[in-house]
Every structure is written in structure tokens, then in C-alpha cells.
Chains A and B, each alone.
Chain A
Amino acid sequence: MDEILQKIISALDEGEDEQISLLVRQALAIGFEPMTILENALVPAMTRVGEKFACGEYFLPNLIVSAEAMKQAMFVLEPVMRQRQQMLKRAGVAVIGTVQGDIHEIGKTLVGTMLSVNGFEVHDLGVDVTPEKFVSAVAETGANLLGLSALLTTTMTVQRDVIQKLEDAGIREQVKVIVGGAPVTRAWADEIGADGYAEDAIGAVEIARRLLDVEGII
């Protein structure tokens, strides 16, 4: 294994996001193909971080900083790949956000980070997002996954409204809808006709992969 790829692997493991950008640029400069950097360094490194998390050695913050580093590395790689007309294999396109009337952010952001590190193109609409905005974002991006976050019993009803609006717009079949947030239960997800529900970011990725039948990295 080449030294520079090894360095990229450890930078990702330690979540050194500034350093990883430099290293990826260096690797490109000395002639590595973007796909080689991705498949021989970034993906296996991220998989290992996931494994360390699964066995209890790493905690959530480790996962996040590595995911951030992965994102930085992709910022460098993607333009080069586009230039060379190399297609990145996407797990899917995801639209996520916290529903109208609710400003809780962290959980939704974590889900976005975990989806993006697992190969999803993530469009994070932020917080306090109206049903209309969700629907138009799904239509515009051609998303096949929609994640709706609600942390209050008073706002979780908006999750139902969004699903209704998707039906009204005739694009419900295009997209799998997953819901989450502290008060959300499996029973609620079933009641409002969501496709899936998870209690944490790791669970959200698992359910997304299962619904869309795609493989992930961690």
C-alpha cells in the first residue's frame, strides 16, 4: 500500500479534516486516480471506523469527525471526477429536515452526516421546514429517500401532513419516507404510513439501506 494512501487512512480514522484535504490533493498530484483513493483508502478506512464503533471501541464523536473528514475528502475528489467524467456510484438521493414548528437540529444533522458518509447525496433543508418545501425538494432532486425529524408531540403530526402532501403531488411512490425524533414510535410510523422509523442515526442508515436495497460503508 502506498504511503500517501496510508496517511489518508489514518487521517480519516482520526478525523483530521484539514489534513485529509491536503493529503487527497497530494495523492491526486502524484497521479492517483480518484477511484483508487476512494476505494483503496477512504472507503476501507471509513468501514474500519464503523467496525470500531460497532464493537464499542469508538464513540459517536469518533464517527462524526471521521464522517466530516470523509466529506472534506469528497469535496476535493468530486470536481476532479466530474471533470474526468467518472461517475460516483450513489446509494441514493436523500432529502432531510426537521418539520415545521420544530427547531431541533442535532439528531437530523447526525442522520444527514451518516447518510452522506454511506454514499447518499444529502439535501439537508434545515429546521422548521414546511410540508410544501419538502415536497418540492423531493420533486426537484428526484430523491428516493425523505427523512422527517420531529422532537415534539405537537410537531410530529406534521410528518403525517408531509406524507399526505406527497400523495397529493403524486410523488409518494417515488420516495421512501423515514421518520424519527424522541416522541416518534414504530406505531406512529405505521399509523401515518411512513416506510420506516429509527431511533438513532445508525438505525436510520440501516433502515434506509434496507428500504432501498443498497449497500453501505458503515
Chain B
Amino acid sequence: MSQKILSAIDPKLRVSVLSEDEIRRIHTATMDVLETIGVRFPSEKALNILEAHGAQVDRETMIAKIPGVIAEEHLSRAPSTYTLCGLEPDFDLPLDGSHSYLGTDGCGVEIIDAFTQEKRPSTKRDVSDVGRVADALPEIAFHWVPLSAQDCPVESRGLHELDAIWNVSGKHLQTESIVSEREMRFAVEMAALLAGGREALRRRPVLSIMQCTISPLCHDAGSLEAALVAAEAGLPVGFMTMASCASTGPATLAGNLVVGNVEVLSALVLLQMAYPGCPVYYAAAQTATDLRTGAYTGGGPADYLFGAATNLLADFYRLPLSMGAFATGAKQPDWQAGVDNSLSAFMAASTGADMLLGAGLLHGSRIFSYEELLMDSEIWNMLCATLRGIVVDDETLALEVIRQVGPGGHYLAHRHTLKHMRELWQPTLMDRRPYSVWEEKRDGAREWAREKAQKILREHPGRPLEDGLRSELMKIIALAEQLS
């Protein structure tokens, strides 16, 4: 992979929040739920596949009970490593178990304007602008659809969002906003156009798909059927549980993990039954319900623990993981956002989560802030440096240097310092200036982040598609609109 993308590689620092025995108990409980309680699949198509492969299906309740041995057998067919591709190979992301990548968050509905600071509903132009800024940031490895293109027709909105990002960036795109079979067919067409045909798309998936489960223990018909279309085309597909302690999942963290695990695995089993060996991934963003408002806001110790625990589960099933980190209920890029996003990302990355979601959103993933995107990127930059750990060898022990400087001297002017100082992490948003300099301007991270985003928006043209591809994409969208 190129140096154009910053990722955490083989973290030396590892956090372990569940023992092998505990993971096994969660697995056993999960299989018990799958087999004896079942999951609702409100789609004839899905139920037919499940029944044909040995699940016990109740057509009236649309609940399928999947025997554990059958679930395990089908899960074992899923590839444990594959590559998410960029439009440019420089941006390819091997999901090989040794990299963690950060993507943008999604899918917000409001944006704080980069120039006026006004908060307003998001448009397609905003999707494109955020895509352009994310394209310029080495910390951002792939895109989620960050915002809803609310000025576009409902029936083709998800396609306009893809169009907006592909027209400005060569990085991999993962959409979480296409939830119907019909729209997914057009999305696959668009992806195949850019990849150079359906077979080429299978080899180089420039698009991957995220669907959500409906906790507790349900799926959405549109999501299931859209996922089947994508899996057929060879696009990597993940299902995300957002089971929330005390409301859509048990109040206890272990129980919540079981509910989420059942949901995600049941969907992935379905996809493996339909298209054995298709690339899939585990996805999760569990949290604890706010006990005063009942809201799902993200953030807090439950999130941090889920971030680490879920990756242990995904590893147990040998599946790549996309983990919801950087989630916060904060209303502004502030102390709360900094604490939530640092700790959740640390926990997820220190267990080796393959994909981390996502940078830039506030208020429970509703409001996009450029300042937050830049700040989250700096957090990720710090974490990548932290996770690398400490190198211990003759050169880094520096015994000869210590001897030369001796007691009472200093290392500032030593060659060894010049040689290695640039390995030390350097801030771009952390304020380490003299107090008097701060006092004069009274500015800081928020202002600098905003200026940086404004500069990128003014100067970075993105990576526009050639005119031919651009108009072909629009033709596919126009067709989707006609046929709806």
C-alpha cells in the first residue's frame, strides 16, 4: 500500500478485554439464540435461501432459526482477508488483519458550513466537498457517505451520493445509504462502469456496502435484498449492529454482545448460503442507551469496551471488522468529542479492527463539522504513532550518545537527535506555543482546523473523473430516476 494513506500497522500495543473462555461463552450463547430463538428476516427471498440451506423458517412471523452447525459451516466459507480497492491502486486497502484504517462517518443530515459556520441541511454539494477534503487527508483511508444529499430525489439519493464522491476522490468508497434492491442494482452498474466491467469489479471492488440490522434480532427487507445484489456482484458487504444496552439490547454488555453477534452473523450466514465465499465483514457500533432520554448518542465506556470486544469476536470468526469508533454525543468539537473519539478509536485500533468509522460527525452522527473531521484526523495520527510502540535496539538505546553527552549536558545539538527527531510525533492542531503567543491571538485547534479545511476546499481540486465516465454515471442515475 502506498504512503499516501496513514494506517495503524501491526500495533505493538494490544488490549485484551475478553479471555478465550469468555469469547467461547459468547459464541455458545449466540448459537443458542440463532438456533432456538431465531432472527426475523422479513424477505421471502431471504427466507427461501435460509430454508433451502436447512434453517427452520416460520413464514408467518418471518423468523428463521438457524442450527449452530449450519451457521458455523457457512461462516467458515467467508474469506478472512481481501482488499478494498480505490479508483487509483495507490489507495488500495488490504484487509489483512495487520492494518487499521480510518474512514469518514455517516450519514449526517446537517452540516456546519466551512465558511459561514451556519448549521444547515446537507446537500449533494456538501457530500462532494467533504469527499474532497477527505481525499486530501492522509489519515482518511476510505469514504463513507458522510452526509445525505437531501436536495436529490429520494429514489436516487444514494446514487447521487456515490456520484458526488467518485467525482472528487480516488479513495475506496463504502456506502451505508443504499438500502433497496432496486437502487443497489444501479449502484453496482455505476461501480462496474468505473472498475471496467462486472468481472473487473469482482477483482477490484471500488465500492463496498454497509447495511444495518434492526435490533433486537431483526433485519430490514430492503437491506437484506440490497445486500444480496451486492454480494452477487462480489462487492464486500457488512452488516452493522447498533444494539444499544437497556433498550434494543440487554442492559449488560455481554448480553448486548450476544444480541449484536446473532444479528450480524445471521445476515452473513445468509450471504454465504447464497454466494459461498463472497467477501463479507462484521460491523458494529453498539452503545449504551442514554438512560435519561432514551437516545442513541454514542460515546462513553460501554462504546470503548465494545470497540475492543467486538474485534475479538470478529477475529474468532476470522472476519474483517468495521468498527464504529469516533462516535460522540458532543454538539461541538470539544472536550467531550476529544475524549470519546480518542478512547473509542484507541480501544478499537489496539485490538486491530480493520476499518474504523468514522471521522467528522457530532451529536450522535447527525451533524457534520469540518473542524471535527480535522481534529479526528489528528487523533488518528496520534494513535497510529502510539500504537507503533517503542523500538528497542542498539540505535534507539543510544548508549554511545548518552556516554558522549554525559551528566548535565544536553542532546539538542547531537547528530543522533537530528537523525531521529523527525520520528517524534509532531502536532498540527495541539497548542504548544508560548503563553504570550496564545494570549495575543487567543486561537487554537478549532480555528486552525477550520483554516486547514477552508484551504483544502479552496485549493484541492479533488480527482475529477474524465468527462466520459462522468456523463455515463449521470446516465445510469437518470435511468434509475426514470424507472422509479
Contact = CB atoms under 8 A, between A and B. Distances in A.
Contacts of B437: 199
B418 A15 contact: yes
Interface in A184-218: 185-186, 198-200, 203
Interface residues of B, number: 13
A19 interface: no
Given A186-B436, A199-B435, A203-B436, A106 B418 contact: no
Contacts of B414: 61
Interface stretch (A41-49, A62-70, A83-91): A62-70
A60 B412 contact: yes
B429 to A, nearest CB: 13
A203 B434 contact: yes
B404 interface: no
A200 B410 contact: no
Interface string B395-410: 0000000000000101
25 contacts: A15-B418, A59-B421, A59-B422, A60-B412, A61-B412, A61-B413, A61-B414, A61-B417, A61-B418, A62-B418, A64-B412, A64-B413, A65-B413, A65-B418, A68-B413, A105-B410, A106-B410, A106-B412, A110-B412, A186-B436, A198-B436, A199-B434, A199-B436, A203-B434, A203-B436
Contacts of B410: 105-106, 109
Nearest to B436: A199
Interface size class of A (residues with CB under 8 A): 10 to 19
Interface in B366-425: 408, 410, 412-414, 417-418, 421-422
A interface: dominant SS = helix
Given A15-B418, A62-B418, A200 B413 contact: no
A60 B437 CA distance: 17
A114 to B, nearest CB: 12
Given A199-B434, A203-B436, A105 B408 contact: yes
Among the interface residues A61, A62, A65, A105, which one has the most CB atoms of the partner chain B within 10 A? A61
Interface string B247-279: 000000000000000000000000000000000
B413 to A, nearest CB: 5
Interface string B340-375: 000000000000000000000000000000000000
Given A105-B408, A106-B410, 16 more contacts: A59-B421, A60-B412, A61-B413, A61-B414, A61-B417, A64-B412, A65-B413, A109-B410, A110-B412, A185-B435, A198-B434, A198-B436, A199-B434, A199-B436, A203-B434, A203-B436
